[in-house]
Amino acid sequence: MTDQLILVLDAGTTSTRAIAFSGSGDIIASAGRPMTQHYPASGWVEHDAGEIWDLSKACLEEVATTVGIDRIAAIGITNQRETICFWDRTTGEPLSHAIVWQDRRTADYCAQLKAADPGLEPRVQAKTGLLLDPYFSATKIRWALDNWPMVADAARDGRLAVGTVESWLIWKLSGGTAHVTDATNASRTLLMDLASCEWDADLIALFGVPAAALPAITDCAGTLAHTGLLGRPVPITGAAGDQQAAAIGQGCLTAGALKATYGTGCFLLAHAGPTAPVSRNRLLSTVAWRLGGKPAYALEGAIFVAGSAVQWLRDGLGIIASSAESESLAQSVADNGGVSFVPALAGLGAPYWNPDARGLICGLSGGTTRAHIVRAALEAQGQQTADLVDALAADGVAAARLRVDGGMVANNWLCQDLADSLGLVVERPRVIETTAMGAAMLAGVGAGLFADLESAAAAMAAADRSFHPAIDAAARGLRRAQWQAAIARVLA
């Protein structure tokens, strides 16, 4: 693909970015804007869908102006998943804030559903690959219909449109002509049948969601819509949830290949091939991509707090000046001094799934310094990942190595600690924007610039550095035991 570029929009939890990629995977230009986080009550997290659109538009326009609109062959979109937007299809305007994936407001509703019918969660898991947790979109939609009159009125009048963030953005980019969602994002709603990749009538009835408000489920590559935003029609040819996109960008294209992305949260995906896997260890089963109508699947472990623990040390406790300072501080002490930090700041995700869990810092002494606490916060990432790798092993997936990406892996100390804690080789790619890279690969396939994902990976993805385990099994076991004792206290 000569001089043509693929423009990717990555609408994440804390920021929105646009990145122009060359066909060889180089970043030619990028733009980013921080996103406002709204916390209207304890455990609630909202975004302004209007702001998501305004920031996305500004980032796309900035990058298109920098590189020249004529060089843009196609657009790919990737996004924070599960976060659900509500808009009026007659005006194209948001009806309310979006309810964010981290939001725990439906924890009681999930508990009631489980208490009323203990067989429900296993049936829901068999159908969707997911669990009855507030994380997923369906209970958030139910809550909005029950509590936000603007949303309920629009539903009654047939004006309501709902969709995850990529769906909202494609709607806006297409000038309201396309109401679609790709199969990876749809697989996170609790409303989609994992095997058929279609909305499930029983689940729609269970959560009382108006079917007419839902988008059409599409492939992850192909002509999904056109946008006139940049002054000439440009096709949107790729879309996937950010974690699936990161797995693609990391070249996890065959069964068993594993990646973990350390951003706000941490999400570990193990590619599983063409048949939906079933976890017996409380991992999620999810769509990895759908191309040509054929889905591929992955097992996923979702940790809700990763980089946001470092953010909390910076903004909440004020014990570091920047996220990057965590690296030198962790390195400045020989060990954690007996301190454990369980960063359950938004409940616990996989494999515990306890929405009510609260964070814990323990093992303090008079000799504890902020460096020990910061080190324990970084070490928690390795231990949380080890919990997931253990669950994967119990599900029959033996990890050979771990590919890592996301904002946190700029931290070399963290990458070495991951290798030590897991006893696995940890590989970091040349471009740590693998989420955007994966969306670019999908958009490249969708635009016919690459024949398939394998050719796109060969052309675009490259490794940077490997971190090898440098501690022995006994030392690893001691760290594990310290973490497990702390987790037991959180769950007690």
Which residues contact ligand G3P by CB under 6 A? 12-13, 80-82, 101, 241-243, 263-265
Q: How many CB atoms lie within 10 A of CB 152?
A: 15
* DSSP state, residue 37: P
Burial class (CB in 10 A: 0-12, 13-18, 19+), 242: buried
* DSSP state, residue 441: H
Query: Smallest gap, in angstroms, from Cβ of residue 413 to ligand G3P?
Result: 21
**What does 81 interact with, of ligand G3P, ligand ADP, none (CB < 5 to 8 A by kind)?**
ligand G3P
In sequence order, the 6+-apart residues with CB closer than 8 A to the CB of 327 are: 411, 412, 413, 414
The Cα 443–Cα 212 span in angstroms is 28
Determine if 327 is a binding residue for ligand ADP (CB under 6 A). yes
The footprint of ligand ADP on this chain (CB under 6 A) covers a number of residues equal to 19
Nearer to ligand G3P, 251 or 307 (CB): 307
Query: Smallest gap, in angstroms, from Cβ of residue 265 to ligand G3P?
Result: 5
Determine if 323 is a binding residue for ligand ADP (CB under 6 A). yes
Query: Smallest gap, in angstroms, from Cβ of residue 489 to ligand ADP?
Result: 25
**What does 362 interact with, of ligand ADP, ligand G3P, none (CB < 5 to 8 A by kind)?**
none
**What does 174 interact with, of ligand ADP, ligand G3P, none (CB < 5 to 8 A by kind)?**
none
In sequence order, the 6+-apart residues with CB closer than 8 A to the CB of 116 are: none
Query: Smallest gap, in angstroms, from Cβ of residue 240 to ligand G3P?
Result: 10
Nearer to ligand ADP, 83 or 237 (CB): 83
Determine if 56 is a binding residue for ligand ADP (CB under 6 A). no
Determine if 384 is a binding residue for ligand ADP (CB under 6 A). no
Token pair, residue 164, equals 């995850």
Q: Which residue is nearest to ligand ADP (CB)?
A: 407
Determine if 249 is a binding residue for ligand ADP (CB under 6 A). no
Pair 389, 422: CB distance under 8 Å: yes
Strand order across the beta sheet in which 84-88 lies? 46-47, 98-99, 84-88, 160-164
Cis-peptide, bond into residue 351, ω within 30° of zero: yes
Determine if 406 is a binding residue for ligand ADP (CB under 6 A). yes
Query: Smallest gap, in angstroms, from Cβ of residue 416 to ligand ADP?
Result: 13
Pair 99, 144: CB distance under 8 Å: yes
Instruction: Indicate which single residue of 185, 237, 383, 411 sits in contact with ligand ADP (rule: CB under 6 A).
Output: 411
Stretch that binds ligand ADP, among 21-29, 62-70, 357-365, 405-413 (CB under 6 A): 405-413
The Cα 193–Cα 126 span in angstroms is 9
Q: Among candidates 216, 217, 213, 220, which has minimal Cα distance to 236?
A: 220
Positions in the binding site for ligand ADP (CB under 6 A): 12-15, 263-264, 307-308, 310-311, 323-324, 326-327, 406-408, 410-411
